Amino acid sequence: MAYPIDLKKEYSLKRSGEDAADTYYLATATEPAPSLPPIDGDFTTDVCVVGGGYAGLSTALHLAQQGVAVALLEQARVGSGASGRNGGQVHTGLRHDPKWFEARFGVPAAKQYWALALQARAYLDTLIARYQIDAQYCPGLLHAVHRRRYLDEARAHVDEHLRHYPGTQLRFVEADELRALVATQDYCGGYLDLSSGHLHALNLALGLSRAARSPRVLAVSAKSADGPTASASRSRTWRTDTLRNC
């Protein structure tokens, strides 16, 4: 499976001012970048979200859908951190194999965690389709085995998921097929998951930002050396301070 990346495209990795390093994603982004006006004076909102990455943008989007007024503060630009500069890999499942969860929490809980992971994976597709985000998703995540002694483990991994943890398009790949997919003789087999894949990490962040734009979401620039500071009062309200007119 080929990633949707033109490796001949030249792009800079230099740092520019306070912005994060320029990347392939930044050079090829097609989703519009939002303009973040500086904070001008005091204002009141229901929820203050700090950071314009996946978590912050998704929080602002879903709170606004529930009628909550949101102020989103971003120090640099939307997606300038890890959300817009990660590997772009979309995995199905969890960080650990189901056996790890079974050993610690039991089989019923492991299956619940697995179901939650599948729901999260499906919801990503829903967000992309609902808001027509140019995520440039390319299906297919290949795990290549470089030593024959690991092949049995790879087969067992596939068999375990197919029998007890369905929901993925997982299959074992023999050596000849794998070598045709990656054009190298260095691997002796592996497995392919067509329910996982790769996307344009920054476009996803920018698309979420576009989706979150509404009268209930105020996205502003909040540049400071140490980030916003917050303090609580006895009335259970919070005050967030940033540098003014930045």
Range of the domain at 80: 17-88+200-230
pLDDT top residue among 149 and 3? 149
Read off the pLDDT of residues 54-107 as tens digits, 9 standing for 90 and up: 999 999 999 999 999 999 999 888 999 999 999 999 999 998 989 999 999 999
Total domain count, the chain: 1
Whether 137 and 90 have beta carbons less than 8 Å apart is answered as yes
Q: Decide if pLDDT at 171 tops 60.
A: yes
Q: What helix, strand, coil percent values describe the chain, rounded to 5?
A: 35, 20, 45
Q: Determine the average pLDDT of the residues in 180-185.
A: 91
The percent of residues above 90 in pLDDT, for the chain, comes to: 63
The percent of residues above 70 in pLDDT, for the chain, comes to: 84
- Buried/exposed 197-221: b ≥16 CB within 10 Å, e otherwise: bbbbbbbbbbbbbbbbeeebbbbbb
Does any domain span residue 183?
Answer: no
Does any domain span residue 38?
Answer: yes
Q: Decide if pLDDT at 199 tops 60.
A: yes
Does any domain span residue 54?
Answer: yes
The residues that bridge with 193 in the sheet, in sequence order, are 141, 170
Read off the pLDDT of residues 21-38 as tens digits, 9 standing for 90 and up: 588 999 999 999 888 888
User: How does residue 5 score in pLDDT terms, banded at 50, 70 and 90?
Assistant: very low
Does any domain span residue 145?
Answer: no
Pairwise CA distance, residues 26 & 79, whole Å = 9
Given this model, what pLDDT does residue 230 score? 57
Whether 87 and 5 have beta carbons less than 8 Å apart is answered as no
Pairwise CA distance, residues 158 & 82, whole Å = 30
Does any domain span residue 220?
Answer: yes
Does any domain span residue 211?
Answer: yes
Given this model, what pLDDT does residue 85 score? 93
Q: Please provide the average confidence, as pLDDT, over all residues in the chain.
A: 85
Both structure tokens of 167: 């929901």
Does any domain span residue 84?
Answer: yes
Here the CATH number for the domain that contains residue 74 is 3.50.50.60
Does any domain span residue 35?
Answer: yes
